[in-house]
Structure 1
Amino acid sequence: MILEFGLLGAVEVREGDDVVEIGHVRQRSVLVALLVEDGKPVPVDRLLDRVWGERAPLRARDTLYGYVSKLRKLLSLDIERSPAGYRLKIDPSQVDLFRFRALVRQGALDEALGLWRGEALDGLESPWFDALRESLHAERTAAELDRNDLALAQNRHAELLPSLKRTAEERPHDERLAAQLMQALHATGNDAEALRHYETIRRRLADELGADPSKPLQDVHQRILAGGTTPGGPRQLPAPHPWFTGRTDELKALDPSGTVVITAIGGTGGIGKTALALHWAHRNLHAFPDGQLYVNLRGFDATATPTPPENVLREFLEALGEQTIPAGLDARAARYRSLITGKRMLVLLDNARSTEQVVPLLPGTDATVMVTSRLKLAGLVAAHGARSISLDALHPADARKFLEARLGTERVAEEPEVVADLVNWCGGLPLALSIVAARAAMDPDFPLAVFAEELREQPLDALDAGEIGTNLRAVFSWSVAALSDEASRAFKLLGSTSSEDIGLTAAAALLDRPATKTRMVLRELENAHLVQQHVPARYRMHDLVGLYAADLAADAGSRLADFYAATARAAAMTLEPHKVLPEHESGHVLEFKDNAAAMAWFDAEHACLMTEQRSALQRGAFDVAWMLGRTLNNYHLRRGRTSDDVEAWLGALEAAEALNDAGKQATAHMCLGANYVELGQSPLGHQHFDRSLELFAQSDDHEAHGSAHRAMAWAAEFEGDLEKALQHSLQGLEKFRAAGSEIREAESLNEVGWRYACLNRYAEARTYCEEAMLLNNKLGHSEGAAATLDSLAHIAHHDGRHADAVAHYEEAVALYRELDNSAEQATVLEHLGDVLHAAGRQAEAREQWTRALEMYEEQGRTSEATALRTRT
């Protein structure tokens, strides 16, 4: 059930039209004390103080626990208990208080105030609730005053006058309200009454508080005395965009902050910079009684060159009433600054091309300046203290609201899945949404599915409404045209990639430039909002920008693919130095100093490597596709990413078949067999094992045969056939010894010992594992040593040597941590918890199990996590 919680009046809970019973006043108090925190935990002591104050009963904690338990059952609430206190998890949109605040931030003041039903938290009593109620009423008052300012700015003086008079009587010391009443009286021709009201409040403030009226109130008084009909100054703002939605956080960030008077709003073409600026400006007209100046600087315009600042200054000076315009940029700028000084004005400089174009248009003091640009205008931030706000795509929920506002809720509700497709394809880009909505509005009888199908087939063609400014390709092209030759080349090369993002070193390989040069080129693209550095040294494009870049894509040959293949090989060999892998050439291959560096690179580049493997298969680069599948294997094992390993090996198998390489095919089948068994698809896994043995039989490669037996031993153990697992382990050991591979021999000795232990033959198990440990130490094989320590610990545990078991497990954990093998680390932590539990060290056991559980959950190992959760 979807519940709605009402706090702006008598406390109530509703399900649809029905009121839900929520218990007596103290139980309601507990609910409200948790609700107002918006998902944050409330310590128990603080909760007790909120509900009872100093009048808490005996056994108040037990009473509180009972209330929480009843609320959980009564309303099916998710109330979480932790050391930090109680936390109520709920969607903020279900609570009228949070809806009120969100609507106020969006400027929907009438709708926000319509949520109030009376006195907030009516019926709840405690010092804390009294203070909260007073604070909420202050928020309501502020919203009412904002709504009054907006109505006055829209010349709705007569409509507003009765409520202003009534409210002014209720709040005789509210100077902002008094100023509003005076403006309304003045605008409706009642100057005498306005001046009498000023004199009344002036005397009241002097007599009761010993204070003079505030400057804003005195300014209104002076304007009325001067005889003006409305606050003076130019009113140049264009109308706000009628279907503006979302941008709650950005609107909040635009509100005045300290001494910041210049704000630069940046973002890619079509992201909604101008719409945001105009929406905020119209919402805050009351803050700029001396006027608003606006200019489109045409910094990125297909039909005009950027407007010179001296031309803009002429227009501004004329708007400010100047009859004689000075000649020259400096003289005009000086005169402009003189006229602006001391005035509460807004200057909106739209679509700027550069900091140099903007600087002459900055007032000296007082006025608020807002600049929009496709560039970040770093010079404005660095030299003039501007606040920078970069716009990203709209949230999907806000994008849907935009379509509802433009097309109507009924039409949108008729095709919910199609609307989700439209939102997805538009990627939250307001211009794209506007184009789709405009096309749908021009063809009201067409189902929205028609437009969604066009977007699926050819997104950029579908986002062309046939006019300048409604063609997404054209809008993007203006940004690209402003780039340097090197940045334009880089943009087109980036369009040739198919991954969601790209790292700096990979981009350097793609551009065939040093990393330092590449960083500067990417910085230019970032400054133009054509790429985003979403984490340090990793770059991505908006989906639609990426499609446009792909249209322009330049052929980078195999540079990026060679970089990924060669560097993945280097990383894999860092993890397993004994691994034999063929060479792969690249002029940009990276080197890794240790396991942690190699694993960190795989972590960062994993999605790109998987994407590159698919791309390599499509264009016939089968050596690259094979290499990527092979090199990802150990990384996937260490991270417990079995499903990803299946995908990588299927790609490698396809490449091996295209290369007609039986050995590579056999290896792929062998690894796929183990993966499918682990995923619970044993029949499919054994099909791959059988095919692997058939292919290995065609060669005399003893090590390959040993690897096949080793994989099948693991699968047999996984399926519970321990005798078969031991048999394959012994065969694998024989093959590795015949091949002279000491590394694999050491690993197999441990696996034979482990299987003996699983069969309760601990003496034999210990012999094999101790021999494995000697050989691992001789070879410096850390991963083999860690696995063997795990086996020796298991044996010691079952021999009753708990101290030895704990020591072995702790050493194994340390080695796996050093190797960055989080999959095995989690498993060993669980085993360590088991032996600590058996030794009677319950608290330490629980600690290790908890750490293991967290890692299982991170790795998506659901079955292990479920089994362990019952013990933590």
Structure 2
Amino acid sequence: MITVRFTLFGGVSARTGDRTTEFGPTRPGALLGALLADAGQVVSAEELVDRVLGDAPPPRARAMIQTWLTRLRQTLPGLIERDRDGYVVRVDPLEVDLHLFRHLVEEGRTAEALPLVQGDLLSTVNTSWARQRRADFADELLAARLGHVDERLAGGEHADLVPELHALAAERPLDERIAAQLIEALHGSGRAAEALRHFKVVRARLADELGAEPSRHLATLHRRLQAASAPRQLPAAPKPFTGRALELAELDQAPTGVVVITGTGGVGKTSLAVHWAHQAAERFPDGQLYVNLHGFGPSGAAVSPGDALLRFLSALDVPRAQVPHDLAGQSALLRDALADKRVLMVLDNATDTEQIEPLLPRTPNTHVVITSRTALRPAHAKALPLGLLPPDDARELLASRIGHDRARAEPDAVDTVVRRCARLPLALAVAGARAATQPEFPLAALADELADLDAFADDDDVTADLRSVFSHSCKALSPAALRLFRLLGLIPGSDISLAGAASLAGLAQHETAALLAELARANLIDEPEPGRFTCHDLLRDYAAELALDSERDEALNRFLDHLALTGVEAGVVYTPSRHRPSTPDPAPGVVVGRFGTHEEALAWLMTEHPALMAAMPHGTAAQTWLMGWSLADALDRQARYRDLLTSQQLAAAAVQRLDDVDALGRTLINLGRSLSRTGRPDEATAALRRAFDIYDGNPAGQAEVLLNIAMLCPDDRIGEAMEHTRRGLALFEQCGDEYGQANALTGLAWGHGKLGEYARTVEYAERAMRMWRAMDHLIGQAEAWDNLGTGHLGLGDHVKAVEAFTLSSEMFRLGGDLKLEAGACEQLGDAHAAAGAAEQARQAWQKAVELRTRAGLPADHVRAKLQAEGE
């Protein structure tokens, strides 16, 4: 028996084997759809007239129905039968896509059901009955889709669902179930800040349009995500931690405000602060912020207030675009971000009041704990001086490291070690680690080796003789580990990676990893996060004292080579369109990293950013300028403008010592960009004009400078910007640089749009588009479509404008540029509005508001368009 399968989605059709009959917008097709919609049930003749011919049928409607039934019986014999006063289609309902869809959903097989919906139900039938059935099924379909989304969220498919839910949320901006699903998907895919921002968008939309608050479910989800997204920056709690009961009680009893823990180096200030912070964390449900300010570390390692502020603002999910460039503005923004939050802030190892004052939010519910060797006196702060450990606590700390049974067996030796370590936790930790690695040695032997420390306990400056304890521990190291420890004292930054340490030592990474593990067991270094190593600044100073003159220069040069050459690899992957600089061969033993993706390259650049900044003043001219080149794009896009300027100033000073005109020109371009970012346009222009002169005889270099000068021109100097861009285009054409030509053509298209010369906008955008397509350059194509949309809209061709802005917004989305995607969506709304498509305009503008909010950009002007359209 031949099976006939029917579709009602996207039009009525019948398929027999390989043959498909499409009925299209015909009356027989409408009649068949009217019967199939209730397959197996009798439909009266009157109902068929209403379904097929509408509310006002012609006089001979019944006869017309009979004629169409005859045609259907001829096309599909044996299918339609007369039954009492009506007609019935004799078919298994599961052979009709609509009924199969419902059956699969009821059985919990929604994933199989959804692909059946290939278009609107009965799309070729335009009667009130068909329209109502479509509307009813749309609700049914939405419920099935959302149920399936819940299943997929439960299965962990958060990232895959984000695009689909964004589209659904744009279609139904007031649907709280969709909003909750999108928020959960964003959070589950690691985009917690976007999730919380979307909640704010939905809450504002509900208030503005419905005068309502979010549902209990949505509000509960928001509170759960807020708690999960709160910053938890505290380092691991120190283990073991002993004593300090009085100080812990004082910290517990201190009112919310500022507490400054002061004391000599190695006395345990950080351990006390971090231990108490973990104990008190529940009192601060909105998060705990921590930064090691490295106030007493090596030169260049201290964290600037601005860098610390950026770390805190990032942890609080403040969008980068909202962060001002000046220190006062960043400090004010931190106060705003913490205004209604209960947060604990730990500022560790501060050097002076100037370093910490911009970081103090002075908000009612923010509690700040500061540690410093200096007796800092910020306003209204409580001082908590920290002395040496009491004898009993010092003995307990040593016992916890060497084992209580061993300590009880040799109490006199324990007392001697404690006395000779001056009851300093750092000294006890190092000495205890040495003893723990040699459990077969009597503890008395350790005490005898420390005999030269008798005068130590009565010394006013107890840290001066800590090196004696360190020396004792270093004697137990293998020669290779001791050599690595000495070399670690040379690095200019505060921490180092495994690859960096391997380069420093000139060893393979697996050998270096074993030596680092030996140093960690001796308590001479720490591994605060996987793959990164640091040590107490007193230990670093001691290590530097041990370094041999014969090994200093080569070791430091290898480390700087590692940073410079790995930085170039990261910079090229991060911005593939940049011209790769020429690099020297690495010194023997240097590890040069490689990167597979844009994300890996950016992660390395931002992780090593402090090390690179600290290393630049110590490098050779070539190393310094390569490090500056590596940082330029990443610091610019991450809005680290002060560091961008500093790095390019150092690079510019270094590159002038090289006989490399191209390197000097590129560095001056980067310097000009950094000066413009920091509000110094005249100096930026001067740097770029100098670069132009340096590139004399190099048309591609001069052209790049001209495009950068054009970007400095404000909107009231568009004509001047256009002239620079035209000159740049001519030079790019002269040397055959297609990437440069496409960039220049894109700039000219944009400029003509600004001037209202829309035909020229289209002309230049189409030229640029051909070149971007040939290079398969996504963002370039997106910008060309954006310019084409501007041109077509200005010329009154709304259909082409809508198409162009739609493609532009999609390409910007794929390229991950929220700001440009938001601009394209806004202009898409403008094009729809110009074409009289009010609902489509509203949806596009709403999407633009959402994107601008996610990017931290102001959106009031777009909201004004929505409000005006609503009126």
Which TM-score bucket, shorter chain as reference? 0.3 to 0.5
TM-score norm. by structure 1 comes to 0.47
Structure number with the bigger relative contact order (C-alpha 8 A, sep ≥ 6) is 2
